[in-house]
Chain A
Amino acid sequence: MEPHEVPAARGRRLDAIHAALLRDPAAEIRAPRRRWTTLGVMTLLAVAVVVIASLLVYDRPAVGLSFGIRSPVTLLAALGALLLLVVGSSAIALHRSRSGLGVSAGTLVAAVVLAPAIYAAVVLPNPVHLPDAVPRWVDISPWGVRCFFIAVIVGAIALAGFTRILRRAVPVATRLRAATLGAAAGAWSGLAVFAFCPSGDQHHLLYGHVLPILVLILLGSLTLGSRLRP
């Protein structure tokens, strides 16, 4: 049942493709440094958002890393785990593999499920911050509206950067990959609000810090597909 290609027909098709290519706007050629430049810009922007928001709200940068901490060891352990989560989830989401078709679907599913689960396991059961150690001059909502907003801003920056890196590069399992990018962006947003917010209230942490990760996963899977497909 091997289909045979007729050379004349192949020549006609080549002409048609040539004509179509002439009408097509110039395609991008390879830019090896784009990935690292984009990641660098993303990091700078995320840090800028956290610093500016901290200065506006708390009058000092990264309050979450210095105010009302249970112990420095707990803080370092949680910070290390969250940094690993950011690096690991981003690496899985952006990895192209030798085939150029990305990591396996199983790995992508694992990343989507585990990223919010690991984040919740790090921040929720034993919060790094004391529940009553909130700065007196700031009112922190138990619904975490401010944190949710900042998390979504940082997550959107990360999603935009990831999309730029993988634009037109994902022909396989596109929606799943988009959801994984959302999970990785969620990890970035989680780290950002961890550095920004000194709250140890579990209700606040659940709605303001963990929920945005799920929102970003949903956002990624629903909006990025068409940009990632070739």
Chain B
Amino acid sequence: MDAGTENVCDLMERYATGDECVFDALYHALAPRLHGFCRRLALYRPEADDLFQETFLKLHRARGTYVTGANVLHWAYAIARSIFLTNLRYRRRRPEQLGAAEDVARQEGIQVQDLDTPEQELIAENLLEVAVEELGRMSEKNRVAYVLMKEEGLSSLEAAAILGTSPSAVKKRAQRAYEQLRTALDIDEVTDCRSNHGTA
């Protein structure tokens, strides 16, 4: 466990014993990565914001159950996913028509790094759009396994603990997601090449 993680664990430990003053520090330590994870889970920003807020509320209510020394971020991820799945089941039982929401990729959150030429920037933006769209299209299980292992850099053991399954199952899911993404990006590249040849 690195120093930053240990610091967050200490904060959570104090919060679990009733020290309210550390909440802001705990929030600022967890928020960037937790919000990113929520956005990957929920895909649409308003839903992701709600999920993020609800995760902190649940974390607050469940603070007495925190296990000393446990990785707070992983615990928060598990809580966020639990809320997301509960909401998903609820929506499946009571489907409702949601208004159009802007995709996460089009929001300020995900930005393409500055590239040398406008053409490169356009290609990168296009690829990013395809990747995010594909992430939204894949199953929740594969998507979360991919996000935890490939984006968050967790080991298969850590991801398996968060997802409540075996490490081999997590690896398979992440691999499936990765292949799905690669296929989508390959297809997109081929389509682009063809359209470029067509216009030329």
Question: In the bound complex, do residue B52 and residue A29 qualify as a contact, i.e. CB atoms below 8 Å apart?
Answer: no
CA distance A5 to B48 in the complex (A): 13
> With A2-B151, A3-B109, A4-B111 in contact, do A168 and B35 touch (Cβ < 8 Å)?
no
Question: In the bound complex, do residue A24 and residue B128 qualify as a contact, i.e. CB atoms below 8 Å apart?
Answer: no
Query: Which residues in window 136-174 of A have CB below 8 A to B?
Result: 166-169, 171-174
A6 proximity list for chain B (CB < 8 A): 108-109
* From A17, A21, A168, contact of B65 by CB (8 A): A168
How many residues from A make CB contacts under 8 Å with B? 40
A31 interface residue per 8 A CB criterion: yes
Question: In the bound complex, do residue B64 and residue A3 qualify as a contact, i.e. CB atoms below 8 Å apart?
Answer: no
B interface bracket (residues with beta carbon within 8 Å of A) = 35 or more
Question: In the bound complex, do residue A98 and residue B62 qualify as a contact, i.e. CB atoms below 8 Å apart?
Answer: no
A229 interface residue per 8 A CB criterion: yes
Question: In the bound complex, do residue B70 and residue A100 qualify as a contact, i.e. CB atoms below 8 Å apart?
Answer: yes
The 8 closest A-B pairs by CB, nearest first: A173-B164, A100-B70, A100-B67, A169-B65, A230-B62, A172-B164, A3-B36, A171-B78
B contact residues vs A (CB 8 Å cutoff): 16-18, 23-24, 27-28, 31-32, 35-36, 39-40, 49, 52-53, 56-67, 69-71, 74-75, 78-79, 81-82, 86, 104, 108-111, 128, 131-132, 151, 158, 160-166
Provide 13 A-B residue pairs closer than 8 Å at the C-beta atoms, listed in order of the A residue.
Answer: A1-B110, A1-B128, A5-B35, A14-B28, A17-B56, A20-B57, A21-B23, A24-B57, A98-B69, A100-B67, A101-B162, A171-B81, A174-B82
